[in-house]
A and B are shown apart, each in its own frame.
Chain A
Amino acid sequence: MRNFMGSVNVRQILLPIGQMAIFITGAGAVCSGVMLVLALLFRGSGADHILQATQGVGILTYTLNSLPQVLIDGVTIGFVYAAIALGYTMVYGILQFINFAHSEIFAIGAFCGVESLIALNGLGALAKASAMGSFMYLGLALIIGMAAAGGMAVLVERVAYRPLRSSPTLIALISAIGVSFALQDVIRLAESMTSGQFYRVIPTFGNFDEHITLFQIGSTVIDIQVKSVVVILAAVIMLVALNYLVGSTKVGKAIRAVSQDKHTAALMGINVNAMISLTFLVGGSLGGAAGVLYALKFTRIDPFVGFMPGIKAFAAAVLGGIGNLTGALLGGMVLGMIESFAGAYLGTYTMGTFGAEYKDMVAFLILILVIVFRPNGLLGEQISQKA
């Protein structure tokens, strides 16, 4: 036992969990605080009167009652964004290049996972599955999604990025956009040829749709869906595993070396191409897993499903400081929170003038503001001002 503990760096496992806890409570506390101040300010406004008339509660009570639910939603979606953002940030860290096709890697993971679940459902396996069995099947779908997405990411790197490694960044970026567009239609082509449908819906199985009651305040019940718990748990495990891989294994050390200086790393006997492929594999499979989790949470996916989460996750990566793994986590959490709050309260507070449809725009605005005013992100990783 002692031997085992000696070889596993416990600090590397506990540290990211601690970080996550701090980020979640921090982002949640800041957002809730701002919201409560707003609620106090909005007392007696038109929005308050409307709420009094329709629901019989003041705006402060209304906000307080819905706050826990909004926070839980924010954390769930934040973890999905964080898992996608890690793919962007890893690739940026090693190649200083935005892998635009990552959003489609995510979509491929989602599709492969969902397709395998649909196939299992066709065999009748899902309907008969026990509670434990349904988790097993979900795990299987996750693994299939991860494998497909990781494989595709490696393939894309080999075909479209490696030949361009010595070209100017913009050339590689345009190539990445091309890959992203082509993959969208490849998914669509494959789907329309095989299933004849444009979108897929994840089959309902197990107890993922049930709600677990967390606690009760007065008459309002605060609950969390089983699938949200699954999403959060799976994401936490993956993030910890990734942190361990990069932070305290030999391979991780090699990856870090390559991202610092490719030529010197090559001189030290590190196979640079292999490390870059590995980065794409790891980042891609994280994205693929995020895709399956996304499908589980939102049930319906179509070939263009990757675009919005992809761009938001990129915003999250930039927000946290691109190239910085901890930053991606923080950025994902903050973005998830902000989006969840915007979606929940924007409509009520502006009396329906600006509804939840503006929550996508919030992400874009954050992206622009962060890039313009704090391009190094919240955690301040130094990025080069390369053209």
Chain B
Amino acid sequence: MKESLKSRFQDFLVFLDRGRTPYFVSIGLIILGFALVYLSPRSIPGFLVFVFAASSIYWLKMNKAVQLGLAVFLAVVLVPILGARNVFYLEVIFQIAVFSALALGLNIVVGFSGLLNFGYMAFYAVGAYLWAFFGSQQPYLLHSTVTTKALNTPFFLAPDYFYLFIFLGVIVAAILGLILGLPVLRVRGDYLAVITLAFGEIVRQLANNLDKPLNFTNGPQGITPIQRPTMPEGVLNLFNQVIQPVVGHRVTDNQAYNILFYLIALLVVIAVIVITYRLDDSKVGRAWTAIREDELSAGAMGINANKLKLGAFAVGASFAGAMGVLFAASRTFVSPETFTFLQSVGVLTMVILGGIGSITGVIVGATVVTLLNIQVLQSFSLYLSQLRQSEAVIPIIGFHWKNLSNQLDPTKYQRLIFGIVLVIMMIYRPAGLLPAARRKRELGGNPEDKDLEEKGA
């Protein structure tokens, strides 16, 4: 029975990839998902169908041009329309994009070159604080004490410097990556992990404490307001004329900004993906792999390990720097709380869940963890609080939901989830859900190799 189910499933997969079926399936799924989310903007199953439809474009075997066309149509037309109807989903997709870029950056360091980095959020923080400082009134407040109220002074820079600062964020984060990279040349393995952890904490504590002698970061209060790039009236009006009939209401400024940030994030992520693919496939990428596998032999083959390790740190950091600038502008607020060790481990969880070193895997990992974090857990929390207000009772043990502790809020238990995911993945599937081809061979392990390793140890 089980066998036949399995073979039927395989037949189904083959059927999906034959002839014109994938086109129909993919387009059908997209229409279905779009319709579901359009009609009931609050339904989670609808959104999941939509996400599934989006991924079907990638997974099914289709003409490259059609795939690209569908993806662009989905990303540039459908998502903004849905986003204007329900901003929450746009937020979810924006976060997925941000974390995908972060996870891809970390993947270069951890996955490609095998250097464990627990302080990755530091680079994100540097990018975010870079724009937060120059894009707010903070430069005028250098000599004042911590304030929370907004001032009447003008902003330090014109809002459109934002675009320049995305590139500056890349450069500054890369330089910081080089600085952190220097100790890397002397340290390996678990000691390196500890150094990066300490580095991440130092950056966070600096953000927390640099409100004196000069008030750079406004301390634990964080910096706000931070400017967003300007939105020309003309574009907004045009956009409204086209999209108002579809959306059903006038798109407000804030919604338009959400769509804008989504599009910028999309651009950055695409750039990051392209760069990562090209790197993976290049001489540099192969050299990273060689260093990861065996540094001594790599050196013997004429690879300059020091230079390449520094490069890995700089490239990985630069992605985070760019996303940090974008994050600061989209939130109009930054505080040290965003850049904790927990967040660094969160990004690491994405990389490991999806598959260390595998680009698709990492994006899937980022999507799954983000969805889990801000959607599944939140709706579970909501459900629990509804139960708490109801008169419901668990039948057998006679437990009143009313008596459930208020502290029991699943959104606050990210650590538990990250932790369990990490342990289970390490024990049962260290190569991740969608392993990189090379990694799979190496960790999937033929049993003889393992034996040898044990004897050698």
Residues in A neighbouring B212, C-beta threshold 8 A: 352-353
The answer on a CB contact under 8 Å between A367 and B405 is: no
Within 8 A of B (CB), among A346-387: 352-355, 357-358, 360-361, 364-365, 367-368, 371-372, 375, 385-387
- Choose one: B208, B405, B415; the contact of A196 (CB below 8 Å): B405
The answer on a CB contact under 8 Å between A367 and B419 is: no
Residues in B neighbouring A175, C-beta threshold 8 A: 422-423, 426-427
Q: How far is the CA of A311 from the CA of B118 in the complex (A)?
A: 13
Q: How far in angstroms is the closest Cβ of chain A from B432?
A: 12
The answer on a CB contact under 8 Å between A174 and B422 is: yes
Residues in A neighbouring B209, C-beta threshold 8 A: 354-355, 357-358, 361
- Per-position contact with B for A143-186: 1 when CB-CB < 8 Å, else 0? 00000000000000001100110110111111101111111111
Within 8 A of A (CB), among B435-457: 450, 453-454, 457
Say yes or no for B34: interface residue by CB 8 A criterion: no
The answer on a CB contact under 8 Å between A360 and B205 is: yes
- The interface residues of chain A, by DSSP majority, are classed as helix
* Contacts known (A353-B212, A368-B183, A371-B194); A174 close to B426, Cβ less than 8 A: yes
Say yes or no for B433: interface residue by CB 8 A criterion: no
* Contacts known (A160-B423, A189-B408, A358-B209); A97 close to B450, Cβ less than 8 A: no
The answer on a CB contact under 8 Å between B422 and A173 is: no
Residues in A neighbouring B189, C-beta threshold 8 A: 169-170, 386-387
* Contacts known (A174-B348, A179-B423); A167 close to B416, Cβ less than 8 A: no
The answer on a CB contact under 8 Å between A178 and B407 is: no
The answer on a CB contact under 8 Å between B419 and A183 is: yes
- Per-position contact with B for A303-326: 1 when CB-CB < 8 Å, else 0? 000010001001100100000000
The answer on a CB contact under 8 Å between B191 and A182 is: no
In the complex, number of A-B residue pairs with CB atoms less than 8 Å apart: 154
Q: How far in angstroms is the closest Cβ of chain A from B352?
A: 7
The answer on a CB contact under 8 Å between A314 and B415 is: no
Say yes or no for A98: interface residue by CB 8 A criterion: yes
Q: How far in angstroms is the closest Cβ of chain B from A189?
A: 7
The answer on a CB contact under 8 Å between A185 and B194 is: no
Say yes or no for A249: interface residue by CB 8 A criterion: no
Say yes or no for A192: interface residue by CB 8 A criterion: yes
The answer on a CB contact under 8 Å between B188 and A387 is: yes
Q: How far is the CA of A172 from the CA of B193 in the complex (A)?
A: 12
The answer on a CB contact under 8 Å between B191 and A181 is: no
The answer on a CB contact under 8 Å between B416 and A189 is: yes
Residues in B neighbouring A180, C-beta threshold 8 A: 419
Residues in A neighbouring B116, C-beta threshold 8 A: 170, 173-174
Residues in B neighbouring A357, C-beta threshold 8 A: 205, 208-209
Closest to A163 in B: B427
Q: How far is the CA of A365 from the CA of B418 in the complex (A)?
A: 28
- Choose one: B195, B416, B450; the contact of A185 (CB below 8 Å): B416
Q: How far is the CA of A184 from the CA of B434 in the complex (A)?
A: 29
The answer on a CB contact under 8 Å between B205 and A361 is: yes
The answer on a CB contact under 8 Å between A178 and B422 is: yes
* Contacts known (A166-B450, A169-B190, A385-B188); A364 close to B427, Cβ less than 8 A: no
Q: How far is the CA of A386 from the CA of B457 in the complex (A)?
A: 11
- Per-position contact with B for A177-209: 1 when CB-CB < 8 Å, else 0? 111111111101101110011100000000000
Residues in B neighbouring A367, C-beta threshold 8 A: 194-195, 198
Q: How far in angstroms is the closest Cβ of chain B from A158?
A: 12
Residues in A neighbouring B17, C-beta threshold 8 A: none
The answer on a CB contact under 8 Å between A196 and B199 is: no
Q: How far in angstroms is the closest Cβ of chain A from B290?
A: 13
The answer on a CB contact under 8 Å between A181 and B188 is: no
Q: How far is the CA of A178 from the CA of B416 in the complex (A)?
A: 8
Q: How far is the CA of A191 from the CA of B408 in the complex (A)?
A: 10
Residues in A neighbouring B267, C-beta threshold 8 A: none
Residues in A neighbouring B422, C-beta threshold 8 A: 174-175, 177-178, 181
The answer on a CB contact under 8 Å between A198 and B198 is: no
The answer on a CB contact under 8 Å between B415 and A182 is: yes
- In this complex, the member of B183, B191, B205 whose beta carbon has the largest number of chain A beta carbons within 10 angstroms is B191
The answer on a CB contact under 8 Å between A375 and B187 is: yes
The 24 sampled A-B contact pairs (Cβ below 8 Å) are A159-B423, A166-B454, A167-B426, A171-B426, A173-B116, A173-B190, A177-B348, A178-B418, A178-B421, A181-B415, A181-B416, A182-B419, A184-B416, A185-B413, A185-B416, A188-B407, A191-B407, A197-B407, A357-B208, A357-B209, A361-B206, A364-B205, A367-B195, A387-B114
**Which 7 pairs of residues, A with B, have the shortest CB-CB distance?**
A178-B422, A182-B419, A192-B407, A185-B416, A181-B419, A178-B423, A175-B426
Q: A174-B348, A178-B426, A311-B198 are in contact. List 12 more A-B contacts (CB 8 A).
A: A159-B423, A173-B190, A173-B193, A180-B419, A182-B416, A184-B419, A185-B419, A357-B208, A367-B198, A368-B199, A372-B186, A387-B189
